[in-house]
Structure 1
Amino acid sequence: MQQEEAKKRILELRKQIQYHNQKYYVEDAPEIDDFEYDMLYRELQNLEAAFPQFVVPNSPTQKVGGAPLAQFSKVRHEVVMESLHDSFSHEELREFDRRVREAVGDVTYVVEPKFDGLSVSLEYRDGVFTRGSTRGDGTVGEDVTENLRTIRTIPKKLKEPVPFLEVRGEVYMSHESFFKLCAQQELAGEKPFKNPRNAAAGSLRQKDSRVTASRVLDIFVFNVQQISGDVLSSHEEALDYLKRLGFTVSPFYTACRTIDEAIREVERIGEMRGSLGYSIDGAVIKVNRFSQRQELGSTAKFPKWAEAFKYPPEEKETKLLRIEVNVGRTGVLTPTGVFEPVTLAGTTVSRATLHNQDFISEKDIRVGDVVKLRKAGEIIPEVVCVVSHADHAEPYRLPETCPSCGGPVIREEGESAVRCTNAACPAQLARHLIHFVSRDAMDIDNCGPAVLEQLIAQGLVHSPADLYHLTLPQLTRMERMGEKSAQNLLDGIARSRQNDLSRLLFAMGIPHIGQKAAKLLAARFGNMTNIFEATAADIAAIDGYGSIMAESVQEFFSLTATAELVAQLRDAGVNMESSLQVTDSRFAGKTFVLTGTLSHRTRTEATALIEQFGGKVTGSVSKKTSYVLAGEAAGSKLDKAQKLGVPVLTEADFEVLLQP
């Protein structure tokens, strides 16, 4: 490759990798699988090695991970949380061994699984957990202490009062928890996480630690970063020590005296990965003795004493027998391929989502085709490509009528989804009800999916309005529903009648309208009657709305089914007014950022007041921020506000602004 051609390709690769780093590390929403990313990264490494004059400090090969999110306080790591250099062949592992032995002589390795999760640091003082943070870019991470406290497998107090200890671990979500979460997301009409790694990362980076707690995360601790009060000489000794303190460490790790032994252990772990209850994407070979690690040192990005072996994705061919179409809460038709069973990554696969019509058309998937399957992230089956078409196979098109109710389906301009337009579609009912009663919507306690399924099966509920007419005798006749449970459910339903209009709007499942957009809609129009009378232009004038959102709201409230549901809810005593309506425009056009702990009001209460007076609350500080409201222990947001010259309010200042 010529120099100019190499330079052009290097720039292209850096741009691609930086984009995918943002999607993976920061947004927890990857668009390509790990293997595709690894191949892009390896190509860039090879080109930079061949043309070192083009290596720059901000190249992805010279940096770790992604930048910390603005919504969390920053933590500077005293010991850099380094990444690992990847190998993809036994020859590369032998080259690693040659470099190590040339530098330090005879060596023992420890081989352990490479967990696929989110790397974190845990700090303990006198044996008590005091702070936890993400890796971030290796030097600066995010303070997620409160969210980490919700993970049961993280000891809050060690079995020995070590003066100071910092350990590194990998937060992960088990396959069982992941599948349960995806099922809940699908029932609620939400886009499920792509794989357990992103589910773990997204769950740990929640503003509300209660959400993190509900996701059932776990951790494996695999390294001592810093310690005072004890001296450790090897990795094996450190892992045994961590177990003694109460940490959950790698479930299996093996000492190996030769690289051949290490490679055999890498292969053994690879054969096991399909039977594990969690995701691994490789194995790690580490020099055991800490003195030798210190002698070997690190590059700008990787330790020279460790090497990761990445397993290639397993792919197999099978036959597509048929395509089944399911209908979700919002009426979206989702095609699922049913295949001749095939074993992938240790489990039998016979079904995989085909996403939508665009996905099917792009890959030209037809019933009877031989296709190639793999597991994205080693867990979610997906179609890679069509190997061959069956004789006389026709291109597949999604049905023109709903497979559940027979009603018409539409595909809106700019959308990939095909949607049933019948609000009374039976297939949508259960999913719609689950969303309606959820915490961020009407927040009805003791009304989970199992209860709702029974209510539907017994013909007691045909729409959300029917929930408000349930009686104690009806409920106590249901399975596993005693009088106390039934009364608790009725009490929860009764409380929900007083919810703000914004909750009801979100609960109704208006396409394109999330929780925040529902609040804006309620605040702008004040009551349900005004929303019915609003035009798309009126709605589009809301700060934060676009034409698609406005048209979606206007279309939803023009439906006869919507009018009937609202009438039934009103007759049942459900509140149709908003307390969020702007009663005073003193903060109109002003943007606030809240940071630190407020002693007189909760952040939720302060946010509601700001919105009530026409203001807006965002999560990050910029030159456009009007005020930063700083409580106790305010962190990086306060620092940034001072640097940008943004006015900073104390709680006392804020209370003065609230005075009539």
Structure 2
Amino acid sequence: MDIEKRILELREILERLSYEYYVLDHPSATDQEYDRYMQELTKLEEENPQYMDENSPTQRVGGAVLEGFTKVTHKRMMLSLGNAFHLDDLRAFDERVRAVTADPQYVVELKLDGLAMSLHYHDGRFVQAVTRGDGLVGEDVTSNVKTIKSIPMAIDLMGDVEVRGEVYMPKASFQKLNEQRKEKGEEEFANPRNAAAGSIRQLDSSIAASRGLDAFWYYFMDAQSFGYQTHWEAMAAMDDLHIRTNPNRRLCHTIEEAWEFIQEITAKRNELPYEIDGMVLKLNDLSAQEQVGYTAKTPKWAIAYKFPAEEVETRLLDIVLTVGRTGRITPNAVLEPVRVAGTTVSAAQLHNEDLIKERDIRVHDIVVVRKAGDIIPEVVRPITKRRESGIQVPYRFPHACPICGSELVRYPDEAAHFCINPDCPARVVESMIHFASRDAMDIDTLGDKKVELFHKEGFLNTIEDIYTLKERREEILQLEGFKEKSVDKLLSAIENSKQQPLEKLLYGLGINQVGEKAAKILAHQFQTMDALMKATREELIQIRDVGEITADSIYTFFKEPVNMELIAQLKGYGLRMDSDQEQIQQSMFTGKTVVLTGTLSIMSRNEASAVLEKLGAKVSGSVSKKTDYVVYGEAAGSKLDKAEKLGVATMDEAAFQQEVSKYEI
């Protein structure tokens, strides 16, 4: 027997059987036959290691344990999609497309609620899988993705081939996984998307292999270079290559046809074996796609229609208070667990006393619950007609902090109550959680649970204690569940955080009124912590977007002895106290003052402001003779009128997007 030939033959047979079983759902062999082929191949590979191949079907079971994931820069940015919520939004999208190309056709597809992924093949061999990441840089998760059996390890197409799509966890796999976690006393995953993302980021690929993941692929990169002229043809080509696409798609000639298909899918959404959160419309003609073009973050030739928020009824069991890092008190509804938009919801924020009064929300009410944006649970309203006499009574907001017992304070013009005790254990813990968070110092292995545990054990009582944890290494190792590898990873992450720039540190300090944007502005203006600490109140007020209240808060913070001591200690531990100089791209906006007004549909106001700042513009909130441009969206009002009266140049959102798309931002 020619051993090499037999090995190759068995691999081809097993790949074909996997495709039939996992993609076509129409197997031509029994499970026993499949197992016999796999056993024969495994034995031959073990006896003849010179013929081993990392893409062999025998390697799909996982088992590789990585130290971490390698960062990979995408050859072309993985863009996000603009959103539509109504039929009118889709018609407006259609009008924008028709302004560039006549008689467009659209491919309408399901919007999977999973993890965006890119697959790479070279001369027919699978070589790499990369997460979307931030769109520019993702992570190499090849060892985990190749455990997904519907993904072919070989395709009949030479050259460099890239396809993009979504890795997801089927509803059945999600239910099974959570049942297993519940039996082990582990925290259950909130939804299939989180479970899929957590599985793909496992360093041990055997864990990913056990999670029952699957994937659909919806974009053939550079399809025209392979001879395909439309997206519909490119999808059919992926089918021919045994790359799994979702069969629930339709080629539509009008927006009305697309809307009909959307309504069909909406009606059977809950019957699908996987979660979807909307539909995607893509211009079919690939050449026309390039003509219609891109914004800085989104393709203008595609749009995502998001399903309306699902509303359900459940009972509100209690209202409990939580304390944030600034002492802000947040009331939260404790709900009888109910399934909403694919996940089980048992709690929702009620924000403040006024909201509870305005909506007349009472303990023991039957309430309507939904997820804002399909993400954040909220109590919409009580069902007053279902109240029982004497059972539901108006809610009275407590006067004392639920953690330390201090009297709560509500400041004038504030909707929230505050615990003003700086030593309140909840405030201490929340301040450290915030400091370590991704948007601040990004100590990714120091999460909420660890901070709470270390505070309880007496290891963490202040922010600066984070940088003394290395002295507690042996004590931490004595705690249940802590091994040398995980502890050393934590200590390494803490050490690496010392290199975060000034803006991250400022945000992490939790200065009242200083969010991410203000922290960036301050870091850019002063460049060093010392310079900022010396700033006068008057100097702070002069800074763009820093008003009197924020200036007072910053000035007061840096005059408090306890905060001055905190900065001194952090300096002593080696934290950076300076800012990264941002590279400004020269553009028509460089050195100009720009005002944004109206509703922007492609990117948010904050995103547009960030883009303008990277192009050297000063973004202002008011129109004057010194304004150079006014960029306006829908329902632009008095600012646009004033600009026209003053003779200030104006630019609609489409022209703005066309201009900024010229730059790499």
1:539 aligns with 2:540: yes
**Deviation of 1:459 (Å):** 1.4
Q: How does 1:375-390 map to 2 (within 5 A)?
A: 375-378=371-374, 380-388=376-384, 390=387
What secondary structure is seen at the aligned counterpart in 2 of 1:618? helix
Which residue in 2 is equivalent to 1:474?
A: 475
In structure 2, how many angstroms separate the alpha carbons of the residues matched to 1:64 and 1:233? 16
Aligned pairs, number = 455
Q: CA RMSD in A?
A: 6.3
**Deviation of 1:234 (Å):** 12
**Deviation of 1:569 (Å):** 4.4
1:249 aligns with 2:297: no
Q: How does 1:416-427 map to 2 (within 5 A)?
A: 416-427=415-426
Distance 1:40 1:387, change over 3 A: farther
In structure 1, how many angstroms separate the alpha carbons of the residues matched to 2:104 and 2:153? 25
Q: How does 1:471-550 map to 2 (within 5 A)?
A: 471=471, 472-483=473-484, 486=487, 489-490=490-491, 493=494, 502-515=503-516, 517-518=518-519, 520-521=521-522, 531=532, 534-550=535-551
CA contact (8 A) 1:524 1:581 kept: no
Q: 2:95 aligns with which of 51, 54, 62?
A: 62
Q: 2:613 aligns with which of 611, 618, 633?
A: 618
CA contact (8 A) 2:477 2:483 kept: yes
**Deviation of 1:541 (Å):** 2.3
AA in 2 matched with 1:431: E
Q: How does 1:555-566 map to 2 (within 5 A)?
A: 555-559=556-560, 562-563=563-564, 565-566=566-567
Give the structure-1-normalised TM-score.
Answer: 0.51
Distance 1:402 1:250, change over 3 A: farther
AA in 1 matched with 2:379: V
CA contact (8 A) 1:365 1:396 kept: yes
Distance 1:418 1:556, change over 3 A: farther
**Deviation of 1:556 (Å):** 3.1
Q: 1:146 aligns with which of 127, 136, 139?
A: 136
Which ranges in structure 1 are unaligned for 5 or more consecutive residues? 1-25, 46-58, 68-75, 85-111, 133-141, 178-192, 201-216, 255-261, 294-299, 301-307, 583-589, 596-615, 627-635, 645-660
Distance 1:60 1:373, change over 3 A: same
1:297-333 CA-to-partner distances (Å, cap 9, x unmatched) read xxx9xxxxxxx99977543333322212222334332
AA in 1 matched with 2:613: T
CA contact (8 A) 2:352 2:415 kept: yes
Which residue in 1 is equivalent to 2:430?
A: 431
1:38 aligns with 2:28: no
In structure 2, how many angstroms separate the alpha carbons of the residues matched to 1:638 and 1:41? 17
Q: How does 1:295-334 map to 2 (within 5 A)?
A: 314-334=310-330
What secondary structure is seen at the aligned counterpart in 1 of 2:318? strand
Q: 2:350 aligns with which of 354, 362, 378?
A: 354
Distance 1:405 1:559, change over 3 A: farther
CA contact (8 A) 1:174 1:279 kept: no
Distance 1:251 1:39, change over 3 A: closer
Q: 2:584 aligns with which of 586, 589, 592?
A: 592
CA contact (8 A) 1:501 1:578 kept: yes
Which residue in 1 is equivalent to 2:368?
A: 372
AA in 2 matched with 1:63: R
Q: How does 1:420-459 map to 2 (within 5 A)?
A: 420-438=419-437, 441-442=440-441, 444=443, 447-459=446-458
CA contact (8 A) 1:329 1:429 kept: yes
AA in 1 matched with 2:369: L
Distance 1:485 1:313, change over 3 A: closer
AA in 2 matched with 1:458: E
In structure 1, how many angstroms separate the alpha carbons of the residues matched to 2:496 and 2:162? 46
**Deviation of 1:404 (Å):** 1.9
**Deviation of 1:462 (Å):** 0.9
Which residue in 2 is equivalent to 1:403?
A: 402
1:434-461 CA-to-partner distances (Å, cap 9, x unmatched) read 3323465445575444543432231111
1:325-360 CA-to-partner distances (Å, cap 9, x unmatched) read 222334332222123444545655443222333433
Distance 1:374 1:489, change over 3 A: closer
Distance 1:28 1:410, change over 3 A: farther
AA in 1 matched with 2:554: V
In structure 1, how many angstroms separate the alpha carbons of the residues matched to 2:340 and 2:415? 29
Which residue in 1 is equivalent to 2:51?
A: none
What secondary structure is seen at the aligned counterpart in 2 of 1:63? helix
**Deviation of 1:398 (Å):** 4.0
AA in 1 matched with 2:466: L
In structure 1, how many angstroms separate the alpha carbons of the residues matched to 2:451 and 2:443? 12
AA in 2 matched with 1:280: D
CA contact (8 A) 1:404 1:426 kept: yes
In structure 2, how many angstroms separate the alpha carbons of the residues matched to 1:400 and 1:82? 58
Distance 1:81 1:556, change over 3 A: farther
In structure 2, how many angstroms separate the alpha carbons of the residues matched to 1:501 and 1:416? 31
Judge which range, 408-417 or 546-555, deviates more: 408-417
In structure 1, how many angstroms separate the alpha carbons of the residues matched to 2:247 and 2:158? 23
In structure 2, how many angstroms separate the alpha carbons of the residues matched to 1:425 and 1:368? 30
In structure 1, how many angstroms separate the alpha carbons of the residues matched to 2:546 and 2:231? 58
Which residue in 2 is equivalent to 1:650?
A: none
1:531-589 CA-to-partner distances (Å, cap 9, x unmatched) read 5564432322234533332123134345565356446546xx2358844599xxxxxxx
**Deviation of 1:518 (Å):** 3.2
Distance 1:519 1:116, change over 3 A: closer
CA contact (8 A) 1:125 1:163 kept: yes
AA in 2 matched with 1:62: E
Judge which range, 120-129 or 387-396, deviates more: 120-129
Give the structure-2-normalised TM-score.
Answer: 0.51
